[in-house]
Structure 1
């Protein structure tokens, strides 16, 4: 890991310049500060900020992201550089309740994209879809346009990025987004790659809103089936995804995820009921 604080870079990628932090309540989960907002709260906040000429960058934090944040310094610095972090995972919501500082709801990236796109259409702003599997961004754009015919789609691109991305890979993409005039950038590259790209966008284009949205384009395009709403509400969307993609997700969800979820919940309960045991 190469950190250059004077140049404002991490692994050679520019980190966002310091900005006024949003005045939102937060809860601390294993050191990560999660904003206590609903999806609609976030949507309203984002566009009000854009109207004031202020861009933001949001991390949709799930258990995998929190686990990476907890064990890896580079990841911690990267995720900490974001303006906003929301709970895109029910274990984070459960932990906040055990802690006695409940998050109002799960704020899933897959739900945020249609909500933000609708508000962009209503306010006459444009969106940009970056990343996703082959054909996913185009399919997602079609679905979003069908729902909101007035939606302005400034651009669609699915370039290759290393992890972390190089300056050579980032430069043409940043220029294209800047030329497009988009206000809201959805980045679907998986974490932490999408956060590296969001950091570069935030640094280069301080008046746009950028958010990493994982597999959302594939869900919207119908390439990957999303869990039924009932399973989502029970916090079992991970199980549905595991069944549909067992080879890719078994280690992430079962070998790493379940023990870390138990650790998170135990830590939250201990902080609340047995604080003397927390070092």
Structure 2
């Protein structure tokens, strides 16, 4: 099977080719949510942009926002740097979709988009097109098991993994080794699943040193593929209860994230709701 190629971009071309999606975005597609930019795209639209980026040899960063990231970006410069680089920002939270609608913005349930929403479509495309997919993250045994399981279903995709237990500091020997491995493999897709905000911080730091590829921050994606973690039924995501499923299964780690952090966003949410209400009154 002929494999698509990703053309390496030189520094003088990078600015010209980095963000074509931003130039093509429909005016109603990018909106502001709790002070941050998000894109109202369906999962299939995300895959459309991924395929276009691979075909054109563009380095592209696809991010996602949820309540946890919106909390972290308020105080962490690395998170701000990551989202400033992102070409596409998915909405990874049904409650955020509800909030968009409360603001009078055109968010709908089908705009919720994250790895678990498009994984099957993604891997079927990777299989047909012979994509090279590299995943960084998880415990040492997770990546190989996930790759084995995926290869059984999608033999046309070439999968390489590296665990996430390495010294990610700039200039470290581990970091240099990881980057050399990525360049040697030359992936079409790079998944980084080291947990938020570590994965975002690392991507922001090394982005300019990566070869041309589509980069995703994917959290526990390969833990799900390896069977280490069980994902919530997709209907729970659609009705806004996935967080409850995850909290029930890992309360010690997730209680603060789901039950405490969102309150830090309450003043900002109130300001946006008040402004939206005022606009509606003026329109009437």
Instruction: Give the TM-score normalised by structure 1.
Output: 0.83
Question: Which of residues 56, 63, 73 is equivalent to 1:59?
Answer: 63
Question: Which of residues 145, 151, 172 is equivalent to 2:151?
Answer: 145
1:46-85 maps to which residues of 2 (within 5 A)? 46-85=50-89
Match of 1:26 in 2: 30
Q: Deviations over 1:202-246 (max 9, x none)?
A: 312352011010111112221112112232211111111111011
Q: Structure 1 residue 112 and structure 2 residue 118: aligned?
A: yes
Offset of 1:251 from its aligned partner? 1.0
Q: How far apart, in 1, do the equivalents of 2:136 and 2:51 lie?
A: 20
Dislocated runs of 4+, deviation >6 Å? none
Cα separation, partners in 2 of 1:27 and 1:110, compared to 1, 3 Å: same
Number of positions where the alignment pairs a residue of Structure 1 with one of Structure 2: 258
Question: Which of residues 274, 277, 280 is equivalent to 1:273?
Answer: 277
Question: Are the counterparts in 2 of residues 137 and 157 from structure 1 also a CA contact under 8 Å?
Answer: yes
Match of 1:90 in 2: 94
Unaligned runs of 5+ in 1: 1-16
Match of 1:181 in 2: 186
Q: Deviations over 1:154-197 (max 9, x none)?
A: x11014245x6332132111110110121101111011211123
Offset of 1:31 from its aligned partner? 2.4
Name the Cα RMSD after superposition.
Answer: 2.4
Cα separation, partners in 2 of 1:267 and 1:40, compared to 1, 3 Å: farther
Offset of 1:263 from its aligned partner? 5.0
Match of 1:225 in 2: 230
Q: How far apart, in 2, do the equivalents of 1:93 and 1:130 lie?
A: 29
Q: Give the secondary-structure state (helix, strand or coil) at the position aligned to 1:220.
A: helix
Instruction: Give the TM-score normalised by structure 2.
Output: 0.82
Q: How far apart, in 2, do the equivalents of 1:274 and 1:43 lie?
A: 37
Unaligned runs of 5+ in 2: 1-13
